Amino acid sequence: MKYIAISFMCMLLYACQQPTERLEGYEVHGIDVSRYQLEINWDTVAMQQIDFVFVKASEGLELVDVCFEHNWSTIKEKSIKRGAYHFFHPKLSSFDQAMNFINAVPLEYGDLPPVLDFEVTNGASEMLVINRLQSWLDIVERHYGIRPIIYTNQKLYKKYILDNFDHYPIWMARYSTKEPIVSQKWDFWQYGNRGTINGIKGDVDLNVFRGSRLELEDMCLAPRAVLSAK
């Protein structure tokens, strides 16, 4: 068993270090970026069949990504679907983290739903993690009027998301050519972190959307239905 565990870890490390090739067989492709990509030439990116971009907006209680505002406005100018994510810390106040995201992100009609980036537990108990995830999701959904997406990996999905957040859209990280193994349908799949995109210096995460471009459009923020009085 020890040998199997070591072999698995070696395979995982190898996969993370290998250049990520664009996956075929999917109609809708995207990337996600943060300050680590530094200055991005969005004119060049827009010419490479990139359908959507998720941008880091905030983290924790006060951090706002220094490149967010520029990336956010420029992506819209290039007519690429855009979404924003918050890197979540379960030991910190859900309310304050939600407000950090809300104050940073002016979602508009046509934007993708907000994303809760859940990839650390910070040593918090299982119950605390679940309760604070739910609190952030509820606050953000009430504010924007759209159900957020949960980004996570397979290990955290199985322990915290499965059976607790099954009705939320899922963006799954699995660095492989094989699709994520999850009980519910995944919506986005981050399949590698060492992609190459002209206009971006260094590595970038590559993603696909499960459905069509029309289905991606249907996921986006739209005007709330107004019921006329009869």
Residues 6 or more apart whose Cβ sits within 8 Å of residue 182: 154, 157, 162, 170, 172
What distances in angstroms separate CA 12 from CA 19, 174, 186, 210, 214, one per listed residue? Answer: 13, 10, 21, 23, 34
Distance of CA 126 to the CA centre of its chain: 22
Is 24 tagged catalytic? no
How many angstroms separate the CA atoms of 215 and 2, rounded?
44
Residues 6 or more apart whose Cβ sits within 8 Å of residue 188: 30, 149, 151, 169, 170, 171, 172, 207, 208, 209, 210
Is 141 tagged catalytic? no
How many angstroms separate the CA atoms of 72 and 55, rounded?
7
Active-site residue, selected from the candidate residues 62, 96, 108, 119: 119
DSSP per position, 106-170: ---TTPPPPEEE----TT--HHHHHHHHHHHHHHHHHHHSSPPEEEEEHHHIIIIITTTSTTS-E
Active-site residue, selected from the candidate residues 32, 59, 65, 187: 32
- Supply the residues annotated as catalytic: 32, 119
